[in-house]
Amino acid sequence: MLGKIAFTLLLLLWPAAVSAKVTLTFYSRELGVYFPHAFVRITGATDAEPQKLLDDNYGFTAKVVTPALLVGAVPGKMMAAPKPYVARSDSHLSLTLTDEQYSAVLATVQKWRDLPQPSYDLKTRNCVFFVGDVARTLGMRVDDGEPRLMTRPRSYIINLIRLNPGVGTLTPGGRAERALATPADSPKP
């Protein structure tokens, strides 16, 4: 009986003894009619609120998909992709965040949410630029100067991984892991 009580107390106290962890994962969904094509997902819990479990995702996209977005700026929005969409998207790279980094990422999300309208521009401010801004917020090297990457979410994130070797963890079996292992697709000097 005393053993059961001790075991129960240990189980109740266990979550308080474990350090919280927030994980940010970069995702892409190459092409298709659903948006956003590049986004980040945040899971886990902060040290400040270990009991509050996070499972949020953020992506920047046009409010309405219209041919007008091919020729200039249109109204944009920050959005969360539905869980089935996230599950069918490609995860590439995960990073463990401190509470301060998590707050900085949320500030970046808010900055994009508060952009003056029209805020979405396929050539200068799309979902890929948003993901790059999140990476920059986390101190990662970012290359926004390669126009062909700025409309190719998967290629952009793979390039982001190449620019930041040893940062984070490649998602097991993800497309980025396979692409980085392909010699024909090696990074340019």
Parse the chain into domains and list their residue ranges: 20-185
CA distance 47 to 21: 7
**Model pTM score:** 0.83
Q: Say what the pLDDT of residue 179 is.
A: 54
CA distance 165 to 184: 18
Which of 31, 29, 30, 52 shows the shortest CA–CA distance to 42? 52
With cut-offs at 50, 70 and 90, classify the pLDDT of residue 171.
confident
**Tens-digit pLDDT profile for residues 94-148:** 999 999 999 999 999 999 999 999 999 999 999 999 999 999 999 999 998 888 8
Q: Say what the pLDDT of residue 175 is.
A: 58
Which structure tokens are listed for 57?
Answer: 């995702």
Handedness of CA 59, 38, 146, 105 (dihedral sign): positive
CA distance 21 to 13: 17
Q: Please check whether residue 167 is in contact with residue 157, taking contact to mean a CB–CB distance below 8 angstroms.
A: no
